[in-house]
Amino acid sequence: MMNFFKRKSSASSAKERLQLVLVHDRTDLTPAQLESLKDDLLKAISQYIDIDPEAVQIGLERDGRSQRLVADIPLRSASHHRAG
């Protein structure tokens, strides 16, 4: 009966948790290090172009056995910038 009220099956928790753990194990990068990598990356990019830090998404993704660092960094439009 208790199972009925559980939000999520244990198999999907296991899979989600493993997805995260394996990405960090494989890259030898802790979540804290990834955060500081993001900060440094944003600082470096901001020196050249105007970006919206709130909209930035940076994360590790798996593709079979390989990992990639995927960044989606929307730019503030130049006209908007000049007008502002």
Partner 1 sequence: MTAQVITVTSGKGGVGKTTAVANLATALAMDGKRVVCIDGDIGLRNLDVVMGLENRIVYDIVDVIEGRCKLKQAMIRDKHYPEMYLIPAAQTRDKNAVSPSDMVRICKDLRPDSDFIIIDSPAGIERGFRNAIAAADRVLVVTNPEVSAVRDADRVVGILEAEEKGNPLLILNRLNPAMVKNNEMLSAEDVLDLLGIQLVGIVPEDENVIIGSNRGAPVVNDAKSRAGQAFRNIAKRLQGQEVPFMDFAQQGGLWGAIQRLTGRK
The binding track of 5-44 with respect to partner 1, each residue x by CB under 8 A or -, is ----xxxx-xx-xxx-xx--xx------------------
CA angle, residues 59, 60, 63, in degrees to nearest 5: 135
Q: Between 11 and 32, whose beta carbon lies closer to partner 1?
A: 11
Are 58 and 41 within 8 A, CB to CB?
yes
Pick the piece of the chain touching partner 1 (CB under 8 A) from 4-12, 34-42, 48-56, 70-78.
Answer: 4-12
Judged by CB under 8 A, the number of residues near partner 1 is 16
Rule CB under 8 A: which of 54-73 touch partner 1?
Answer: 62, 64-65
- Letter string b/e over residues 4-14, b meaning 16 or more CB atoms within 10 A of that residue's CB: eeeeeeeeeee
Asked whether 68 and 60 are in contact (CB, 8 A), the reply is yes
Coil/strand/helix, residue 57: strand
Positions touching partner 1 (CB under 8 A) are 9-12, 14-15, 17-19, 21-22, 25-26, 62, 64-65
